[in-house]
Amino acid sequence: MKAKSYSGHKILFLSLGISFALLINGSLHAQSKRANNWYFGIYAGLSFNDGSPPEVLYDGKTDYAGSASGVASISDENGNIRFYATGVQIWNREHQIMQNGYSMGMMSTQGAIFVPDPGNSNFYYYFNFGYDSPIISHFQYSIIDMRLDNGLGGVVTDKKNIHLLENASFHLSAVQHANTIDVWVVAHTLENNNYYSFKITGYGIEAPIVSTVGSIYNNSSGYLKISPNGKKIAAADHVFGGGCEILDFDTQTGIISDVNLVKTTTPVFAVEFSPDNSKLYAKGNGLNSFFQYDLNAGSPDEILASEILLSSDVIPEGALQLGPDGKIYCATSSYHIGVIHEPNKAGLECNYERYSIYVGDGRAVGEGLPSFIQSYLNDPEYATTQHCAGQPTQFNIANANGIDSVYWKFKDFSNMPYDTSTLLSPAYTFSGPGTYYPELTVYSG
């Protein structure tokens, strides 16, 4: 995948091999560059600006690698780092502590996430957790104003560490609203089964939608992830007798439901969805603790029965995070990042490699990887219906919300330069049987 930007638009080039007389369904890699730079662990970092595999970065200043490992990063639309954070402090793009970006809260399992203000590009929300006592925490937000400190950004003094929830667990995730403009930020509280969906709009943070569903959490350890398409939510409970539960999420209303509740029994620390939203990966710690589930297997019981063990190694607890290249990155070693190279594929064909990326001398991975708005990593769904040679092939983008315009180049070299279309769902008749690699340019933003 190539990605370029000009005139304020995001431009993405995507390829698909087509053979006649087949029905092909797949995914378009159409990610935002806002998730292109990661900082985590002890001085560790990755950049996806030049594609896959990512470049190892050596300029990061994060210095936490223990069990309190929640980190976050965010870049601009062109893939330039804006800032990154642990739960305690925020660094600007020059790798200095941001103006007023100290004493931000606490380290936690999944401790922080940045959300651009949907109504003003100068502002960002920073969501994280703070201490009320050694055993009680709260969920909070702060506002970053990019006009401060000569454009490096700073935390607004009277909008710092504002409480949203008391007695919060460390479960935190975010996804775009169905309108593709606003954002849902989802958190959970302890000693009950309440999920809180906060809608972030250009007017601020709305009162939360409360969904009383699923398990009661008495332990704050474990990750929460919303699928990139926003239809599913998975929560990990890292205690004996806990596990992972998969519920339904509605990006229009923010409501979480258990109509299709799937509940595993093995203690789970981290969870992540494949970019095509068809698989869930769940990882605990210790022997035989890394699994894949097929979310298209059918009923909740059939999804549980689809469980595949990916590794029999003793694996320490650590985060799973989908990357802009469509691969899942795994904090499974002190000095290496593991990679699931083909997470859309079933079972061992997903190609999990435990020791894939060495983060460099004097650096360590730790347990955390940055959290992002999951929609940045979604593969737009499409389908192509093909017929025999001489008949049109129909191209359809299933979820075209947020797309301003498109440009198809079908690469039918016998028909150039007439092998193009600007229709959202074009029908094109190829000049003869064979394999073709159409190119799609998507404009949005």
Query: Could you read off the pLDDT of 99-113 as tens digits, one per residue?
Result: 999 989 877 777 899
Work out the average pLDDT over 251-267: 89
Query: Which pLDDT score, from 0 to 100, does residue 443 have?
Result: 62
The overall average pLDDT reported for the chain is 86
Query: Percentage of the chain with pLDDT > 90?
Result: 59
CB atoms within 10 A of CB 321: 23
Work out the average pLDDT over 151-174: 95
Listed range (108-112, 269-273, 278-282) with the worst mean pLDDT:
108-112
Query: Which pLDDT score, from 0 to 100, does residue 387 have?
Result: 62
Which residues lie closer than 8 Å to 314 by C-beta, 6 or more apart?
286, 287
At residue 345, does pLDDT exceed 50?
yes
Of residues 432 and 125, more confidence is placed in 125
Query: Which pLDDT score, from 0 to 100, does residue 163 have?
Result: 96
Query: Could you read off the pLDDT of 11-29 as tens digits, one per residue?
Result: 343 444 554 443 333 334 4
Domains in the chain with CATH codes: 2-28+381-444 (no CATH), 34-377 (2.130.10.10)
Query: Which pLDDT score, from 0 to 100, does residue 266 have?
Result: 78
Listed range (128-137, 190-199, 401-410) with the worst mean pLDDT:
401-410
Query: Which pLDDT score, from 0 to 100, does residue 56 have?
Result: 98
Query: Which pLDDT score, from 0 to 100, does residue 410 have?
Result: 87
Query: Which pLDDT score, from 0 to 100, does residue 43 have?
Result: 94
